[in-house]
Structure 1
Amino acid sequence: MVKAWSVEWPEGLLPGEAAWEEISRQFVDARNDILITNEMPFGFWQPTRRPFDVQAAREWAALHERALDTLSRLPLAAVISSRPVFNGRRLVNEGFVLTEGRYEFIHQKHYFPSETGWEEELWFELQRPGFDVVKIAGIKVGVLICTELMFVDKARHLGKAGADLIAVPRATGVDHRMWRTAASMAGIASGACVVSSNRVGTRPGSNLVFGGGGFTVDPDGFEIAVTSAQQPAITLDIDTTLTAAAKSRYPVYVKEPALEPNMPGV
Protein backbone atom coordinates (compact mmCIF):
# COMPACT_ATOMS: atom_id res chain seq x y z
CA MET A 1 0.00 0.00 0.00
CA VAL A 2 1.27 3.46 -0.95
CA LYS A 3 1.15 6.45 1.39
CA ALA A 4 0.60 9.94 -0.01
CA TRP A 5 1.88 12.97 1.90
CA SER A 6 0.10 16.31 2.28
CA VAL A 7 2.21 19.22 3.57
CA GLU A 8 2.15 22.91 4.32
CA TRP A 9 5.44 24.52 3.33
CA PRO A 10 6.47 28.10 4.18
CA GLU A 11 6.13 31.02 1.81
CA GLY A 12 9.57 32.00 0.51
CA LEU A 13 11.02 28.49 0.86
CA LEU A 14 14.49 28.08 -0.63
CA PRO A 15 16.30 24.78 -1.23
CA GLY A 16 19.26 24.18 1.06
CA GLU A 17 18.29 26.64 3.77
CA ALA A 18 17.44 25.69 7.37
CA ALA A 19 13.70 25.38 6.72
CA TRP A 20 14.41 22.97 3.86
CA GLU A 21 16.68 20.82 6.01
CA GLU A 22 13.93 20.55 8.62
CA ILE A 23 11.42 19.58 5.92
CA SER A 24 13.74 16.90 4.54
CA ARG A 25 13.96 15.19 7.92
CA GLN A 26 10.21 14.54 7.86
CA PHE A 27 10.66 11.93 5.12
CA VAL A 28 13.43 9.71 6.47
CA ASP A 29 11.08 6.70 6.61
CA ALA A 30 9.11 7.50 3.46
CA ARG A 31 10.98 5.61 0.74
CA ASN A 32 7.86 3.95 -0.65
CA ASP A 33 5.65 7.03 -0.43
CA ILE A 34 4.44 9.82 -2.72
CA LEU A 35 4.78 13.48 -1.71
CA ILE A 36 2.41 16.12 -3.07
CA THR A 37 3.93 19.59 -2.60
CA ASN A 38 2.14 22.91 -2.65
CA GLU A 39 1.82 24.81 -5.93
CA MET A 40 5.12 26.20 -7.29
CA PRO A 41 6.65 25.77 -3.83
CA PHE A 42 9.91 27.71 -4.00
CA GLY A 43 10.54 31.41 -3.48
CA PHE A 44 7.92 34.05 -2.84
CA TRP A 45 4.61 33.94 -4.69
CA GLN A 46 5.00 36.21 -7.72
CA PRO A 47 1.70 36.74 -9.63
CA THR A 48 0.39 39.23 -7.08
CA ARG A 49 0.09 42.32 -9.23
CA ARG A 50 -0.31 43.89 -12.66
CA PRO A 51 1.38 44.25 -15.08
CA PHE A 52 3.17 40.99 -15.83
CA ASP A 53 6.78 41.25 -14.61
CA VAL A 54 9.00 39.46 -17.12
CA GLN A 55 12.14 39.65 -14.98
CA ALA A 56 10.41 38.33 -11.85
CA ALA A 57 8.86 35.53 -13.92
CA ARG A 58 12.24 34.51 -15.39
CA GLU A 59 13.86 34.46 -11.94
CA TRP A 60 11.04 32.44 -10.40
CA ALA A 61 11.20 29.90 -13.22
CA ALA A 62 14.99 29.65 -12.88
CA LEU A 63 14.71 29.07 -9.12
CA HIS A 64 12.33 26.16 -9.66
CA GLU A 65 14.57 24.73 -12.37
CA ARG A 66 17.51 24.73 -9.94
CA ALA A 67 15.33 23.24 -7.19
CA LEU A 68 14.47 20.13 -9.22
CA ASP A 69 17.70 18.48 -8.10
CA THR A 70 16.90 19.26 -4.47
CA LEU A 71 13.40 17.80 -4.79
CA SER A 72 14.73 14.69 -6.53
CA ARG A 73 17.02 13.94 -3.58
CA LEU A 74 14.19 13.63 -1.09
CA PRO A 75 14.00 9.98 0.12
CA LEU A 76 10.61 9.23 -1.45
CA ALA A 77 9.33 6.97 -4.20
CA ALA A 78 7.97 10.01 -6.05
CA VAL A 79 7.47 13.76 -5.67
CA ILE A 80 4.52 15.43 -7.40
CA SER A 81 4.77 19.20 -7.72
CA SER A 82 4.26 22.11 -10.09
CA ARG A 83 6.63 24.79 -11.33
CA PRO A 84 6.56 27.99 -13.41
CA VAL A 85 8.17 27.57 -16.82
CA PHE A 86 8.91 30.67 -18.94
CA ASN A 87 7.95 30.11 -22.58
CA GLY A 88 9.19 33.41 -24.01
CA ARG A 89 5.85 35.20 -23.62
CA ARG A 90 4.31 34.17 -20.32
CA LEU A 91 4.67 31.44 -17.73
CA VAL A 92 3.04 28.04 -17.82
CA ASN A 93 2.27 26.23 -14.56
CA GLU A 94 3.52 22.70 -15.17
CA GLY A 95 2.62 19.72 -13.01
CA PHE A 96 5.25 16.99 -12.94
CA VAL A 97 6.53 13.98 -11.05
CA LEU A 98 10.10 13.13 -10.06
CA THR A 99 10.77 9.40 -9.77
CA GLU A 100 14.32 8.24 -9.02
CA GLY A 101 15.57 11.57 -10.33
CA ARG A 102 13.62 11.26 -13.59
CA TYR A 103 11.36 14.16 -14.57
CA GLU A 104 7.97 13.35 -16.14
CA PHE A 105 5.43 15.90 -17.34
CA ILE A 106 1.88 15.29 -16.10
CA HIS A 107 -0.28 18.33 -16.69
CA GLN A 108 -0.38 22.11 -17.19
CA LYS A 109 -2.78 24.31 -15.27
CA HIS A 110 -5.80 25.34 -17.37
CA TYR A 111 -7.81 27.71 -15.16
CA PHE A 112 -6.37 30.97 -13.82
CA PRO A 113 -7.86 33.40 -11.29
CA SER A 114 -7.66 37.14 -11.85
CA GLU A 115 -7.84 39.12 -8.62
CA THR A 116 -5.58 40.91 -6.16
CA GLY A 117 -2.86 38.50 -5.03
CA TRP A 118 -3.67 35.94 -7.70
CA GLU A 119 -3.25 37.73 -11.05
CA GLU A 120 -2.55 34.43 -12.76
CA GLU A 121 -4.68 35.05 -15.84
CA LEU A 122 -2.23 37.80 -16.82
CA TRP A 123 0.93 35.90 -15.84
CA PHE A 124 0.18 32.41 -17.18
CA GLU A 125 -1.08 30.64 -20.27
CA LEU A 126 -1.74 27.07 -21.37
CA GLN A 127 0.42 25.32 -23.95
CA ARG A 128 -0.36 21.60 -23.49
CA PRO A 129 -4.05 20.92 -22.83
CA GLY A 130 -5.31 17.72 -21.27
CA PHE A 131 -6.18 16.01 -18.02
CA ASP A 132 -4.40 12.64 -18.03
CA VAL A 133 -3.74 9.83 -15.57
CA VAL A 134 -0.22 8.44 -15.12
CA LYS A 135 1.17 5.45 -13.20
CA ILE A 136 3.25 6.52 -10.19
CA ALA A 137 4.62 4.14 -7.53
CA GLY A 138 2.18 1.45 -8.62
CA ILE A 139 -1.01 3.55 -8.52
CA LYS A 140 -2.87 5.72 -11.05
CA VAL A 141 -2.60 9.45 -10.42
CA GLY A 142 -4.17 12.57 -11.87
CA VAL A 143 -3.34 16.18 -11.03
CA LEU A 144 -5.61 19.17 -10.54
CA ILE A 145 -3.64 22.34 -9.83
CA CYS A 146 -5.32 24.64 -7.31
CA THR A 147 -8.32 26.36 -9.03
CA GLU A 148 -8.89 23.25 -11.17
CA LEU A 149 -10.20 21.50 -8.04
CA MET A 150 -13.30 23.72 -8.31
CA PHE A 151 -14.34 22.01 -11.55
CA VAL A 152 -15.86 18.72 -10.44
CA ASP A 153 -16.20 17.48 -14.03
CA LYS A 154 -12.39 17.31 -14.21
CA ALA A 155 -12.23 15.17 -11.08
CA ARG A 156 -14.94 12.92 -12.53
CA HIS A 157 -12.94 12.64 -15.77
CA LEU A 158 -9.83 11.55 -13.85
CA GLY A 159 -11.85 9.01 -11.90
CA LYS A 160 -13.31 7.58 -15.10
CA ALA A 161 -9.73 7.30 -16.40
CA GLY A 162 -8.93 5.12 -13.39
CA ALA A 163 -7.26 7.54 -10.97
CA ASP A 164 -6.67 6.16 -7.48
CA LEU A 165 -5.25 9.50 -6.33
CA ILE A 166 -5.93 13.10 -7.36
CA ALA A 167 -3.00 15.29 -6.34
CA VAL A 168 -3.83 18.95 -5.75
CA PRO A 169 -0.90 21.36 -5.31
CA ARG A 170 -2.35 24.74 -4.35
CA ALA A 171 -1.59 28.28 -3.14
CA THR A 172 -4.64 29.56 -1.27
CA GLY A 173 -5.53 31.97 1.51
CA VAL A 174 -6.84 31.45 5.02
CA ASP A 175 -10.46 30.59 4.14
CA HIS A 176 -10.50 26.84 3.50
CA ARG A 177 -14.27 26.34 3.24
CA MET A 178 -14.55 26.16 -0.56
CA TRP A 179 -11.40 24.09 -0.96
CA ARG A 180 -12.41 21.43 1.54
CA THR A 181 -15.91 21.24 0.06
CA ALA A 182 -14.47 20.99 -3.46
CA ALA A 183 -12.09 18.22 -2.37
CA SER A 184 -14.94 16.21 -0.87
CA MET A 185 -16.95 16.60 -4.07
CA ALA A 186 -13.90 15.59 -6.13
CA GLY A 187 -13.61 12.38 -4.10
CA ILE A 188 -17.33 11.67 -4.40
CA ALA A 189 -17.37 12.31 -8.16
CA SER A 190 -14.20 10.36 -8.96
CA GLY A 191 -13.95 7.52 -6.46
CA ALA A 192 -10.33 8.61 -5.94
CA CYS A 193 -8.45 9.79 -2.88
CA VAL A 194 -7.70 13.53 -2.91
CA VAL A 195 -4.50 14.87 -1.35
CA SER A 196 -3.75 18.59 -1.37
CA SER A 197 -0.87 20.71 -0.06
CA ASN A 198 -0.68 24.47 0.48
CA ARG A 199 1.89 27.12 1.29
CA VAL A 200 1.69 29.01 4.58
CA GLY A 201 2.82 32.47 5.63
CA THR A 202 2.75 36.10 4.51
CA ARG A 203 4.02 37.47 1.21
CA PRO A 204 6.45 40.30 2.10
CA GLY A 205 5.32 43.75 1.04
CA SER A 206 1.68 42.74 0.71
CA ASN A 207 -1.38 41.76 2.70
CA LEU A 208 -1.36 38.35 1.07
CA VAL A 209 -1.52 35.52 3.63
CA PHE A 210 -1.39 31.84 2.66
CA GLY A 211 -3.33 29.64 5.01
CA GLY A 212 -1.66 26.23 5.01
CA GLY A 213 -4.25 23.56 5.64
CA GLY A 214 -3.16 20.70 3.44
CA PHE A 215 -5.75 17.93 3.59
CA THR A 216 -6.48 14.31 2.74
CA VAL A 217 -9.84 12.97 1.53
CA ASP A 218 -10.85 9.34 1.03
CA PRO A 219 -12.53 7.98 -2.14
CA ASP A 220 -15.99 8.46 -0.61
CA GLY A 221 -15.33 12.15 -0.05
CA PHE A 222 -14.71 12.02 3.70
CA GLU A 223 -12.01 14.35 4.99
CA ILE A 224 -9.44 12.33 6.93
CA ALA A 225 -6.90 14.88 8.21
CA VAL A 226 -5.68 18.47 7.85
CA THR A 227 -2.16 19.83 8.30
CA SER A 228 -1.39 22.48 10.90
CA ALA A 229 1.56 24.36 12.38
CA GLN A 230 1.86 21.54 14.92
CA GLN A 231 1.59 18.84 12.25
CA PRO A 232 2.81 20.27 8.92
CA ALA A 233 2.97 16.86 7.19
CA ILE A 234 0.31 14.14 7.18
CA THR A 235 -0.23 10.92 5.23
CA LEU A 236 -3.07 8.97 3.68
CA ASP A 237 -2.97 5.30 2.73
CA ILE A 238 -3.97 4.84 -0.91
CA ASP A 239 -5.70 1.45 -0.97
CA THR A 240 -6.57 0.52 -4.56
CA THR A 241 -9.17 -2.01 -3.42
CA LEU A 242 -11.06 0.88 -1.81
CA THR A 243 -10.76 3.17 -4.82
CA ALA A 244 -11.91 0.37 -7.12
CA ALA A 245 -14.91 -0.28 -4.87
CA ALA A 246 -15.77 3.43 -4.76
CA LYS A 247 -15.86 3.54 -8.56
CA SER A 248 -18.63 0.93 -8.55
CA ARG A 249 -20.83 3.03 -6.25
CA TYR A 250 -23.12 5.99 -6.84
CA PRO A 251 -22.51 8.50 -8.35
CA VAL A 252 -19.26 7.36 -9.97
CA TYR A 253 -20.82 4.48 -11.92
CA VAL A 254 -23.44 6.74 -13.57
CA LYS A 255 -22.79 6.87 -17.31
CA GLU A 256 -22.48 9.98 -19.43
CA PRO A 257 -25.38 10.43 -21.86
CA ALA A 258 -24.72 9.31 -25.41
CA LEU A 259 -25.60 12.42 -27.45
CA GLU A 260 -26.91 12.11 -30.97
CA PRO A 261 -25.09 14.15 -33.67
CA ASN A 262 -27.99 16.67 -33.93
CA MET A 263 -28.32 17.18 -30.17
CA PRO A 264 -26.99 20.35 -28.47
CA GLY A 265 -23.43 19.97 -27.24
CA VAL A 266 -22.24 17.68 -30.02
Structure 2
Amino acid sequence: MRVAVLQMQAVPGDVDANLTRIGDAAARASDMGARVLVAPELALGGYGAGEAMAGLSPGDAPLVQLGAMAEAHDIAIVAGFAEKGEACLHNSAAFVTGGAAPVIYRKSHLYGPYEKDLFDPAAPQTVIVTLGGLKIGMLICYDVEFPENVRRLALAGADLIAVPTALPLGPDAAFIASTMVPVRAFENQLFIAYADNCSTDGRFAYQGMSTIVAPDGTALASAPVEGDALIVADVDPDAFAASRERNSYLRDMDG
Protein backbone atom coordinates (compact mmCIF):
# COMPACT_ATOMS: atom_id res chain seq x y z
CA MET A 1 0.00 0.00 0.00
CA ARG A 2 1.24 3.47 -0.81
CA VAL A 3 1.18 5.88 2.14
CA ALA A 4 1.45 9.68 1.98
CA VAL A 5 2.52 12.14 4.67
CA LEU A 6 1.70 15.84 4.52
CA GLN A 7 4.10 18.26 6.19
CA MET A 8 2.30 21.61 6.35
CA GLN A 9 2.31 25.06 7.88
CA ALA A 10 -1.20 25.29 9.29
CA VAL A 11 -3.01 28.64 9.56
CA PRO A 12 -3.83 29.20 13.26
CA GLY A 13 -7.56 29.37 13.84
CA ASP A 14 -8.53 29.06 10.16
CA VAL A 15 -10.17 25.66 9.80
CA ASP A 16 -11.41 26.36 6.26
CA ALA A 17 -7.93 27.27 5.00
CA ASN A 18 -6.40 24.19 6.60
CA LEU A 19 -9.11 21.92 5.21
CA THR A 20 -8.40 23.29 1.75
CA ARG A 21 -4.69 22.52 2.15
CA ILE A 22 -5.42 18.98 3.31
CA GLY A 23 -7.92 18.46 0.49
CA ASP A 24 -5.40 19.61 -2.11
CA ALA A 25 -2.81 17.23 -0.67
CA ALA A 26 -5.34 14.39 -0.65
CA ALA A 27 -6.01 14.94 -4.35
CA ARG A 28 -2.28 14.94 -5.16
CA ALA A 29 -1.56 11.94 -2.96
CA SER A 30 -4.39 9.98 -4.57
CA ASP A 31 -3.05 10.84 -8.03
CA MET A 32 0.28 9.40 -6.86
CA GLY A 33 -1.43 6.14 -5.91
CA ALA A 34 -1.59 6.62 -2.12
CA ARG A 35 -4.39 4.95 -0.16
CA VAL A 36 -3.93 6.94 3.05
CA LEU A 37 -2.73 10.47 3.84
CA VAL A 38 -1.42 11.46 7.29
CA ALA A 39 -1.61 15.18 8.19
CA PRO A 40 -0.04 16.86 11.26
CA GLU A 41 -1.17 17.26 14.86
CA LEU A 42 -4.06 19.73 15.26
CA ALA A 43 -3.88 20.33 11.51
CA LEU A 44 -7.50 21.46 11.26
CA GLY A 45 -7.24 24.32 13.75
CA GLY A 46 -3.51 24.96 13.78
CA TYR A 47 -1.37 23.81 16.69
CA GLY A 48 -0.47 27.34 17.80
CA ALA A 49 -4.00 28.75 17.79
CA GLY A 50 -4.27 28.46 21.58
CA GLU A 51 -7.59 29.57 23.02
CA ALA A 52 -8.76 30.45 19.50
CA MET A 53 -8.59 26.79 18.55
CA ALA A 54 -12.00 25.58 17.40
CA GLY A 55 -13.18 22.58 19.37
CA LEU A 56 -15.00 20.13 17.12
CA SER A 57 -17.21 17.15 17.73
CA PRO A 58 -16.86 14.16 15.35
CA GLY A 59 -20.16 15.07 13.64
CA ASP A 60 -19.32 18.75 13.10
CA ALA A 61 -19.10 20.16 9.57
CA PRO A 62 -15.28 20.30 9.25
CA LEU A 63 -14.92 16.58 9.99
CA VAL A 64 -17.82 15.82 7.66
CA GLN A 65 -16.00 17.85 5.01
CA LEU A 66 -12.81 15.92 5.69
CA GLY A 67 -14.70 12.68 5.17
CA ALA A 68 -16.19 14.02 1.94
CA MET A 69 -12.70 14.88 0.70
CA ALA A 70 -11.53 11.38 1.52
CA GLU A 71 -14.44 9.89 -0.37
CA ALA A 72 -14.05 12.23 -3.36
CA HIS A 73 -10.36 11.38 -3.76
CA ASP A 74 -10.67 7.70 -2.80
CA ILE A 75 -8.13 8.02 -0.02
CA ALA A 76 -8.27 7.65 3.77
CA ILE A 77 -7.13 10.68 5.77
CA VAL A 78 -5.68 10.90 9.27
CA ALA A 79 -5.65 14.46 10.62
CA GLY A 80 -5.32 16.09 14.02
CA PHE A 81 -8.01 18.29 15.56
CA ALA A 82 -9.18 19.67 18.91
CA GLU A 83 -12.09 17.49 20.01
CA LYS A 84 -14.64 18.98 22.38
CA GLY A 85 -16.44 16.77 24.85
CA GLU A 86 -19.15 17.61 27.35
CA ALA A 87 -16.68 19.02 29.85
CA CYS A 88 -13.28 18.50 28.26
CA LEU A 89 -11.10 19.19 25.24
CA HIS A 90 -8.93 16.47 23.74
CA ASN A 91 -5.98 16.66 21.38
CA SER A 92 -7.29 14.09 18.91
CA ALA A 93 -6.79 12.56 15.48
CA ALA A 94 -9.51 11.34 13.15
CA PHE A 95 -9.25 8.53 10.60
CA VAL A 96 -11.83 9.20 7.89
CA THR A 97 -12.75 7.38 4.71
CA GLY A 98 -16.03 9.08 3.84
CA GLY A 99 -18.00 5.87 4.01
CA ALA A 100 -18.26 5.55 7.79
CA ALA A 101 -18.12 7.54 11.01
CA PRO A 102 -14.64 8.87 11.90
CA VAL A 103 -12.44 6.68 14.06
CA ILE A 104 -11.01 8.87 16.81
CA TYR A 105 -7.76 8.58 18.75
CA ARG A 106 -7.13 10.89 21.74
CA LYS A 107 -3.63 11.88 22.87
CA SER A 108 -2.63 10.35 26.20
CA HIS A 109 0.71 12.07 26.84
CA LEU A 110 0.42 15.87 26.70
CA TYR A 111 3.65 17.79 26.21
CA GLY A 112 4.50 20.92 28.17
CA PRO A 113 2.37 23.59 29.83
CA TYR A 114 0.81 24.79 26.56
CA GLU A 115 -0.90 21.45 25.89
CA LYS A 116 -1.59 20.71 29.54
CA ASP A 117 -3.37 24.06 29.97
CA LEU A 118 -5.50 23.52 26.84
CA PHE A 119 -6.31 19.82 26.78
CA ASP A 120 -7.40 16.90 28.91
CA PRO A 121 -5.30 13.73 28.56
CA ALA A 122 -6.98 10.49 27.57
CA ALA A 123 -6.14 7.10 28.99
CA PRO A 124 -3.75 5.16 26.75
CA GLN A 125 -5.77 3.58 23.95
CA THR A 126 -5.25 0.87 21.38
CA VAL A 127 -6.92 2.28 18.28
CA ILE A 128 -6.36 0.24 15.12
CA VAL A 129 -8.22 0.41 11.82
CA THR A 130 -7.86 -1.90 8.83
CA LEU A 131 -7.46 -0.50 5.33
CA GLY A 132 -6.85 -2.80 2.38
CA GLY A 133 -5.64 -5.52 4.72
CA LEU A 134 -3.15 -3.19 6.45
CA LYS A 135 -3.66 -2.62 10.17
CA ILE A 136 -3.08 1.04 11.01
CA GLY A 137 -2.65 2.24 14.60
CA MET A 138 -2.70 5.87 15.70
CA LEU A 139 -0.62 7.91 18.15
CA ILE A 140 -0.04 11.67 18.41
CA CYS A 141 3.38 13.33 18.65
CA TYR A 142 4.76 12.89 22.20
CA ASP A 143 2.91 9.57 22.52
CA VAL A 144 5.34 7.89 20.11
CA GLU A 145 8.30 8.87 22.30
CA PHE A 146 7.08 6.46 24.99
CA PRO A 147 8.08 2.93 23.94
CA GLU A 148 5.13 1.39 25.79
CA ASN A 149 2.65 3.06 23.45
CA VAL A 150 4.25 1.72 20.29
CA ARG A 151 4.77 -1.73 21.80
CA ARG A 152 1.10 -1.90 22.80
CA LEU A 153 0.02 -1.29 19.20
CA ALA A 154 2.62 -3.73 17.88
CA LEU A 155 1.37 -6.47 20.19
CA ALA A 156 -2.17 -5.73 18.97
CA GLY A 157 -1.05 -6.45 15.41
CA ALA A 158 -0.47 -3.00 13.93
CA ASP A 159 1.52 -2.95 10.67
CA LEU A 160 1.77 0.84 10.48
CA ILE A 161 1.41 3.63 13.04
CA ALA A 162 0.16 7.00 11.81
CA VAL A 163 1.59 9.80 13.97
CA PRO A 164 0.31 13.35 13.44
CA THR A 165 2.83 15.54 15.26
CA ALA A 166 3.88 19.08 16.11
CA LEU A 167 7.52 18.48 16.97
CA PRO A 168 8.95 21.88 17.99
CA LEU A 169 12.27 23.10 16.68
CA GLY A 170 14.85 22.54 19.41
CA PRO A 171 18.10 20.89 20.52
CA ASP A 172 16.63 17.38 20.69
CA ALA A 173 14.10 17.56 17.87
CA ALA A 174 16.31 16.36 15.02
CA PHE A 175 17.34 13.37 17.14
CA ILE A 176 13.69 12.51 17.80
CA ALA A 177 12.73 12.66 14.12
CA SER A 178 15.83 11.02 12.65
CA THR A 179 16.78 8.53 15.38
CA MET A 180 14.07 7.91 17.98
CA VAL A 181 11.23 7.39 15.51
CA PRO A 182 13.26 4.90 13.42
CA VAL A 183 14.21 3.06 16.62
CA ARG A 184 10.53 2.76 17.56
CA ALA A 185 9.87 1.24 14.12
CA PHE A 186 12.88 -1.10 14.40
CA GLU A 187 12.26 -2.38 17.92
CA ASN A 188 8.63 -3.18 17.05
CA GLN A 189 9.18 -4.27 13.43
CA LEU A 190 6.48 -2.01 11.98
CA PHE A 191 6.14 1.10 9.79
CA ILE A 192 5.71 4.63 11.14
CA ALA A 193 4.28 7.57 9.18
CA TYR A 194 5.33 10.70 11.10
CA ALA A 195 3.68 13.94 9.90
CA ASP A 196 5.01 17.18 11.38
CA ASN A 197 3.96 20.78 11.17
CA CYS A 198 6.62 23.04 9.67
CA SER A 199 8.04 26.57 9.68
CA THR A 200 6.27 28.77 12.26
CA ASP A 201 2.72 29.71 13.13
CA GLY A 202 3.71 32.81 15.09
CA ARG A 203 3.68 30.99 18.42
CA PHE A 204 5.87 27.95 17.73
CA ALA A 205 8.56 26.96 15.24
CA TYR A 206 8.58 23.34 14.10
CA GLN A 207 11.30 20.84 13.23
CA GLY A 208 9.69 19.52 10.03
CA MET A 209 11.61 16.36 9.03
CA SER A 210 8.41 14.36 8.50
CA THR A 211 9.22 10.78 7.59
CA ILE A 212 7.96 7.34 6.66
CA VAL A 213 10.09 4.67 8.32
CA ALA A 214 10.33 0.93 7.62
CA PRO A 215 10.61 -1.94 10.13
CA ASP A 216 14.37 -2.13 9.59
CA GLY A 217 14.71 1.51 10.67
CA THR A 218 15.38 2.95 7.23
CA ALA A 219 13.63 6.12 6.08
CA LEU A 220 11.58 5.28 2.99
CA ALA A 221 10.79 8.97 2.47
CA SER A 222 11.72 12.15 4.32
CA ALA A 223 10.79 15.83 4.21
CA PRO A 224 13.17 18.75 4.83
CA VAL A 225 13.20 20.94 7.93
CA GLU A 226 11.60 23.92 6.20
CA GLY A 227 8.49 24.18 4.09
CA ASP A 228 5.42 22.22 3.11
CA ALA A 229 6.05 18.80 1.60
CA LEU A 230 4.12 15.75 0.45
CA ILE A 231 6.09 12.51 0.70
CA VAL A 232 5.01 8.99 -0.28
CA ALA A 233 6.31 5.47 0.22
CA ASP A 234 5.15 1.93 -0.40
CA VAL A 235 4.37 -0.04 2.74
CA ASP A 236 4.72 -3.81 2.26
CA PRO A 237 5.09 -5.82 5.49
CA ASP A 238 6.04 -8.96 3.55
CA ALA A 239 9.09 -7.20 2.13
CA PHE A 240 10.53 -7.03 5.67
CA ALA A 241 10.04 -10.66 6.67
CA ALA A 242 13.83 -11.10 6.85
CA SER A 243 14.12 -8.14 9.21
CA ARG A 244 11.41 -9.56 11.46
CA GLU A 245 13.22 -12.90 11.50
CA ARG A 246 16.56 -11.32 12.43
CA ASN A 247 15.06 -8.93 15.00
CA SER A 248 12.36 -11.04 16.60
CA TYR A 249 11.74 -8.80 19.61
CA LEU A 250 7.98 -9.34 19.84
CA ARG A 251 8.30 -13.11 19.57
CA ASP A 252 11.08 -13.29 22.14
CA MET A 253 9.70 -10.85 24.71
CA ASP A 254 8.89 -13.51 27.27
CA GLY A 255 12.13 -15.41 26.84
Q: Using the aligned pairs only, state the percent identity.
A: 21
Once the 2 structures are TM-superposed, how far is the Cα of residue 165 of structure 1 from its aligned partner? 0.7
Give CA deviations for 1:105-132 in whole Å, capped at 9, x if unaligned: 24221101124xxx11222223454223
2:148 to 153, 170, 183: 153
Instruction: Select the structure of larger CA radius of gyration.
Output: 1
CA distance in 2, matches of 1:93, 1:241: 33
Give CA deviations for 1:28-47 in whole Å, capped at 9, x if unaligned: 51565111111120233247
Instruction: Please tell me whether the aligned partners of residues 108 and 143 of structure 2 are also in contact (alpha carbons under 8 angstroms).
Output: yes
Task: Tell me the TM-score normalized by structure 1.
Answer: 0.79
CA distance 1:22–1:140, shift in 2 (3 Å): closer
Aligned to 1:96: 94
Matched residue of 2:198: which SS? strand
The residue type paired with residue 249 of structure 1 is R
In the alignment of these two chains, the number of paired residues is: 245
Aligned to 2:136: 141
Aligned to 1:261: none
Mapping for residues 55-94 of structure 1, pairs under 5 Å: 56-57=52-53, 59-61=54-56, 65-72=60-67, 73-74=69-70, 75-94=73-92
CA distance in 1, matches of 2:253, 2:134: 25
Matched residue of 1:202: which SS? coil
CA distance in 1, matches of 2:38, 2:57: 21
Aligned to 1:3: 2
CA distance 1:243–1:93, shift in 2 (3 Å): farther
Aligned to 1:171: 166
Q: List 4+ stretches of structure 1 deviating above 6 A.
A: none
Aligned to 2:35: 33
Matched residue of 2:239: which SS? helix
2:233 is equivalent to residue 236 of structure 1: yes
Give CA deviations for 1:114-171 in whole Å, capped at 9, x if unaligned: 24xxx11222223454223321232011112100111122222222222111111101
Mapping for residues 119-130 of structure 1, pairs under 5 Å: 119-127=114-122, 129-130=124-125
Once the 2 structures are TM-superposed, how far is the Cα of residue 232 of structure 1 from its aligned partner? 0.6
2:215 is equivalent to residue 216 of structure 1: no
Matched residue of 2:247: which SS? coil
Provide the alpha-carbon RMSD of the alignment.
2.9
When you count helix as a share of all residues, which structure comes out higher?
A: 2
2:245 is equivalent to residue 248 of structure 1: yes
Task: Tell me the TM-score normalized by structure 2.
Answer: 0.82
Give CA deviations for 1:206-258 in whole Å, capped at 9, x if unaligned: 3x212322111111111222113577111111102135554333252453348
Give CA deviations for 1:24-73 in whole Å, capped at 9, x if unaligned: 5423515651111111202332475xxxx4xx35x343799432233221
CA distance 1:124–1:176, shift in 2 (3 Å): same
CA distance in 2, matches of 1:187, 1:148: 14
CA distance 1:61–1:176, shift in 2 (3 Å): farther
